[in-house]
Structure 1
Amino acid sequence: MRKYETLFILHPSLEEEAVTANIEKFKGVIENEGGQIDNVDVWGKRKLAFEIAKVNEGTYVLVNFSSESELPKELDRNFRISDSVIRHLIVNQEN
């Protein structure tokens, strides 16, 4: 299994319950595909470095996980089809 890290930014208009629901949804994708979550760190609302689709801030969430090499593709697909995710990034952590 490889170690990965993903950072995604949720739309700032989401209520706290919706933010929690989205985090649980993406954690579920990782766990259902055979991945293992090591750490979830919610950074909260922060100002974006630049405006994205007329939005200046977002809720940042960092997730560290271990999985096989196919899982990041499925996670990326889920991020892309979710309307609540402004931006996302998945990287392979080098040991």
Structure 2
Amino acid sequence: MRKYEIMYIIRPTVLEDDRKALIEELSNIITSKGGEILAANEWGMKDLAYEIQKHKKGYYVVLSVKSNDEARMEFDRVVRIKEDVIRHIIIRDER
């Protein structure tokens, strides 16, 4: 298993309860496929560097995970489908 850092931005119009459910759902994808979440940081609502889908703000979430390829690819697949996630990135952590 390799270490990854995952960052995703949730649409600012998502209600707090729905946002918490979405964060939980996305975290469960990693753990259900044999991965492990080392750290989860919610940065909160921040201004975007540029407009994304007519939004100027977004709710940032950063995860540090230890994961196999199956869990990483499933997370990537699901997050692309979710309309409430406006941007995401998965970076392999070499540290």
Answering whether residue 61 of structure 2 is matched by residue 61 of structure 1, we say: yes
Q: How many residues align?
A: 95
Answering whether residue 19 of structure 2 is matched by residue 23 of structure 1, we say: no
What TM-score do the two structures reach when normalised by structure 2? 0.96
Identity level (%): 40
CA positional deviation for 1:70? 2.5
Specify every segment of 5 or more residues in structure 2 that has no aligned partner in the other structure, as ranges: none
Please list, as runs of the form range in 1=range in 2, the aligned pairs for 1:7-86 lying within 5 A after superposition: 7-86=7-86
Counterpart CA distance in 1 for 2:31 and 2:72 is: 12
CA positional deviation for 1:73? 1.2
What TM-score do the two structures reach when normalised by structure 1? 0.96
Deviations 1:16-50 (A, max 9, x none): 11111011001110011100000110000000000
Counterpart CA distance in 1 for 2:73 and 2:94 is: 18
Structure 1 residue identity aligned to 2:88: H
Specify every segment of 5 or more residues in structure 1 that has no aligned partner in the other structure, as ranges: none
CA positional deviation for 1:15? 1.1
Counterpart CA distance in 2 for 1:19 and 1:3 is: 25
Q: SS where residue 69 of structure 2 aligns?
A: coil
